[in-house]
Structure 1
Amino acid sequence: MKLQSLVLATAAALTMTTAFAVPAGTWSVAAGAHYVDPKSDNGSVLGGAYSVDVDGDVRPTISGEYFIANNVGIELLAAIPFHHDFTLTDAAGGELKGKTQHLPPTLSLQYHFDGYNMPMNVKPFVGVGVNYTTFFKERISTGGDLKLDDSVGVAGHVGLDVPFTPTEAFRIDARYMDIKTDATLDGKDIGEINISPWVYGVAFVKQF
């Protein structure tokens, strides 16, 4: 439902007219940091014998956006690898520990509410797109060969730019990413891990 709301908000925004303030052809770059906060229930593996819990992580990020029309941009988000520890817990409370790294590049179509004469000249925006997450350096405490498949899913984006010069702003934002990965251990399928995090961030934004 949260993702559906983001999609509907983006569609509605793209149909609105206003006194445009970000012209087509503008570039922007945002440099900051984001915290990946996985959903609370990350599924189960080995036929339901172990529940999965994935912890969060924060890393520096950078994004570039090109405005293909007034107030409408295409943004690509990149980051250095996120690191996640995870715990597999059985019914008796026994635990297996593991870890992985991932890169989550995300491409979004965004609408910026720029030129609406809002208080303090703040500039909200919404977006929807696709996330591709690739996993690597998987480890598990049993010493087995753990592999996590790459994931492709829908991504939603909402945020707010607070300008302090005509071309510079402070950004706060939140993203939803549909990230699910099939896990194999020693070549055998052990189940799906559902990470599907909310991603919260801050950044410095510069327009060109």
Structure 2
Amino acid sequence: MKTKILFLAAVALAAVAAPTLAAAQSASVASVAWEAPRKGDFLLTGRITDVFSQADDAIVTAAGADSGLKVDVGDSIMPTLGFTYFLTDHLAVEAILGTTRHEIRAQGGSTDVAVHETWVLPPVVTLQYRPLTQGRVSPYVGAGVNYMLFYDGKDRNSFKVDLEDGFGYALQAGADIGVQGRWSVNLDVKKVWFNTEASVNDGALKSSVDLDPWVASVGVSRKF
């Protein structure tokens, strides 16, 4: 939790500081001022991304009885890449690539035990709308789809856990804030909706888990 708070604080600080930095750069390097992307432009964005789920779904027995336990999914902070191509001055397509590792715990009463660790490959593709074509700030909203692929899972404490891959959907909001030349600071938040079926110990226990993670990022973009 402390890590998540620190990360979100860094995103907020970047949001406040970036326009000031952009203005300072504009005054001193006017000849290479940043311009909002237009049709045919391409942005490559490197980000530091925090993926955090607030899943707390019930774990039940094979017969559907409540076990008294709930699912807890740990946060993960990892580098990610974004690839954005401008179809028009106002519409762009972005593909987000990265992988994160999460610890899954069973919690309830006096029980708090790790049952599984897994890597997740959650590529997201969104269609963005960007209302502004001038100035140093290019805000956007977007919507799209994602696919959750769980791999390299490791069971913990004598539990055996199977997770189901599948499709979800996402909403997105963010902005590129020009610094100078082709470079900008990127702030981005996504909400992903995804449900997975978890089977524990060959179905002796199970859970329908709404992962529904928030994905908050801060990064640097280069325009091509």
Q: What range is the shorter-chain TM-score in?
A: 0.7 to 0.9
**Offset of residue 133 of structure 1:** 1.0
**Residue number among 109, 112, 124 corresponding to 1:95 in the alignment:** 112
For 1:95 and 1:168, locate their aligned partners in 2 and report how far apart those are by CA, in whole Å: 46
Residues 1:175 and 2:219 aligned together? no
**Residue number among 67, 70, 88 corresponding to 1:69 in the alignment:** 88
For 1:71 and 1:158, locate their aligned partners in 2 and report how far apart those are by CA, in whole Å: 14
Deviations 1:76-114 (A, max 9, x none): 0001x2111121024x42233132110110000001233
Residues 1:46 and 2:65 aligned together? no
Task: Report the structure, 1 or 2, having the larger helix content.
Answer: 2
Q: Specify the SS of the correspondent of 2:87.
A: strand
For 1:184 and 1:54, locate their aligned partners in 2 and report how far apart those are by CA, in whole Å: 15
Deviations 1:15-56 (A, max 9, x none): xxxxx95332211110121000112x4312224312111110
Extract unaligned runs of 5+ from structure 1: 1-19
Residues 1:33 and 2:33 aligned together? no
Give the 5 Å matches for 1:145-156.
145-156=160-171
**Residue number among 212, 218, 222 corresponding to 1:196 in the alignment:** 212
For 2:181 and 2:58, locate their aligned partners in 1 and report how far apart those are by CA, in whole Å: 50
Report the RMSD for the aligned CA atoms in angstroms. 1.9
| Cα pair distance change 1:57/1:196, threshold 3 Å | same
For 1:21 and 1:116, locate their aligned partners in 2 and report how far apart those are by CA, in whole Å: 6
Q: Which residue of 2 aligns with 1:123?
A: 138
Q: Specify the SS of the correspondent of 1:69.
A: coil
| TM-score, L = length of structure 2 | 0.75
For 2:77 and 2:192, locate their aligned partners in 1 and report how far apart those are by CA, in whole Å: 15
Extract unaligned runs of 5+ from structure 2: 1-34
For 1:171 and 1:165, locate their aligned partners in 2 and report how far apart those are by CA, in whole Å: 13
Q: Which residue of 1 aligns with 2:23?
A: none
For 2:157 and 2:107, locate their aligned partners in 1 and report how far apart those are by CA, in whole Å: 13
Q: Specify the SS of the correspondent of 1:202.
A: strand
For 1:102 and 1:96, locate their aligned partners in 2 and report how far apart those are by CA, in whole Å: 21
Identity of matched residues, %: 23
| Cα pair distance change 1:123/1:23, threshold 3 Å | closer
Look up the equivalent residue of 1:95 and give its one-letter code: D
| TM-score, L = length of structure 1 | 0.80
Determine which structure has more spread, i.e. the larger CA radius of gyration: 2
